[in-house]
């Protein structure tokens, strides 16, 4: 039951990536499955603490995370990775390297992301205090053909989590 896969949540900051992935992780762990969470904020405190937010550094961040996710995936761990990962090409390379991969786009309006932003990052970016902030002064390239799109500003966390689990099952990962 269950084989290794990386479920890659991508979307604007505050679009719901972490919230949905945490709920999915909770459900999968209750089922006795091996689950690992890789989250942008957590990874940047350790594995990639030397990197900033330029395009080069963002790509290097995802490259390192991809390596870790690949190791876990090939050892039958379900990896739930939550990263803005704004560039299509880097996500494509990640997909190729990992193999067992499912891209989930947490689509959410910029207005809703700004409402959810408890850290005030969008406000700071719009005031020029944060540069290279995705969705404000740095681009986000929407996925062209993700396995799943979650409209997180229109559905509940539980509805989104259920869609992820259903898609994992239909793809043979559960």
CB neighbour class for 36 (10 Å; exposed up to 12, middle 13-18, buried from 19): middle
DSSP result, the chain: ----EEEEEE-STTSSHHHHHHHHHHHHHHTT--EEEEEHHHHTTTTTTT--SSHHHHHHHHHHHHHHHHHHHHTT-EEEEE-----HHHHHHHHHHHSSEEEEEEE--HHHHHHH-TT-HHHHHHTTSSSS-BTTTB-----SS-SEEEETTTS-HHHHHHHHHHHHHHTT--
Query: Which of the residues 15, 49, 54, 85 is marked catalytic?
Result: 85
Distance between CA atoms of residues 136 and 101, nearest Å: 29
Active site residue 15: no
Known catalytic residues are 85
């Amino acid at each position: 039951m269950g084989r290794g896969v990386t479920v890659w949540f991508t979307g604007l900051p505050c679009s719901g990536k972490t919230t949905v992935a945490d709920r999915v992780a909770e459900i999968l762990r209750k089922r006795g499955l091996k689950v690992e969470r890789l989250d942008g904020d957590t990874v940047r405190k350790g594995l990639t603490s030397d990197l900033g937010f330029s395009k080069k550094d963002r790509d290097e961040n995802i490259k390192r995370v991809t390596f870790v996710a690949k190791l876990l995936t090939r050892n039958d761990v379900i990896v739930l990775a939550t990263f803005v990962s704004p560039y299509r090409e880097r996500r494509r390379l990640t997909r190729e390297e990992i193999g067992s991969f499912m891209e989930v786009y947490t689509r959410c309006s910029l207005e809703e992301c700004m409402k959810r932003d408890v850290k005030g990052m969008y406000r700071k970016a719009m005031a020029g205090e944060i540069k290279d902030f995705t969705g404000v002064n740095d681009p986000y390239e929407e996925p062209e053909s993700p396995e799943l799109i979650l409209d997180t500003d229109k559905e509940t966390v539980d509805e989104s989590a259920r869609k992820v689990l259903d898609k994992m099952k239909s793809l043979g990962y559960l």
